[in-house]
């Protein structure tokens, strides 16, 4: 549009004023100033308005809040996934031990005690699988003490489960599963200071089958 204005002005004075006087010169200058002013107006109107400092601070605060919510959600989801994986491994150890001991009813070879994945009583693929499952438990539980997971039996006593797997989950709760069919998920497995919750090593509620 600016080019059309300039061309129109130039053609006008070129066609009618071979030797323009002072009035014509003034008219030309005024027209050029108008064109420049129009150009600046177009440039200003096409620009994007800037944000004020308050607006920027509000946006930054909102982004921070959203980031915190996302991080909390991810942390919770990660903890749940680790707990699920550890419980799955504990169940796998128990089922393998029950299958192996079905005929001879002997779980001694599966007993390793606290925080131990050696399984020295096993051999071959059984030992490899048991160690792998146990190590997965160790990698996914809450490592807060020297007593975080247990595979074994409390005593050679028919009142207790012949084998119990106990672990402290990443969420802080405990999970127990026993050969007597008992299981427990909660924050107080050590009832009466004897780990008497269902499925735990001191459970006497199912007569230790």
Mean pLDDT of 179-208: 81
- Whether 83 and 10 share a structural domain: no
Q: What is the pTM of this model?
A: 0.64
Domain hosting 171: range is 72-193
φ, ψ at 178 (rounded to 5°):
-120, 160
Q: Which residues contact 194 (CB under 8 A, 6 or more apart)?
A: 202
- Whether 77 and 177 share a structural domain: yes
- Whether 88 and 177 share a structural domain: yes
Does residue 82 sit within a domain?
A: yes
State the total domains in the chain.
Answer: 2
Does residue 182 sit within a domain?
A: yes
Q: What is the pLDDT of residues 3-20, one digit of tens each?
A: 554 555 455 544 444 455
């Amino acid at each position: 549009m600016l080019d059309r204005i300039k061309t129109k002005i130039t053609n006008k004075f070129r066609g009618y004023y071979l030797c323009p006087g002072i009035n014509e010169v003034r008219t030309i200058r005024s027209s050029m100033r108008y064109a420049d002013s129009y150009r600046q107006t177009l440039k200003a109107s096409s620009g994007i308005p800037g944000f004020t400092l308050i607006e920027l601070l509000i946006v930054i605060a909102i982004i921070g809040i959203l980031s915190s919510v996302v991080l909390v959600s991810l942390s919770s989801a990660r903890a749940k996934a680790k707990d699920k994986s550890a419980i799955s491994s504990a169940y796998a150890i128990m089922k393998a031990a029950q299958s192996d001991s079905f005929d001879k009813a002997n779980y001694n070879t599966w007993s390793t005690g606290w925080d131990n994945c050696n399984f020295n009583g096993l051999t071959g693929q059984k030992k490899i699988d048991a160690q792998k499952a146990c190590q997965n438990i160790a990698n996914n539980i809450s490592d807060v003490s020297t007593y975080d997971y247990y595979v074994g039996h409390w005593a050679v006593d028919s009142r207790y489960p012949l084998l119990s797997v106990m672990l402290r989950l990443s969420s802080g709760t405990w999970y127990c599963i026993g050969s007597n069919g008992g299981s427990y998920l909660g924050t107080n497995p050590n009832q009466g200071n004897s780990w008497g919750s269902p499925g735990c090593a001191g459970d006497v509620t199912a007569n230790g089958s």
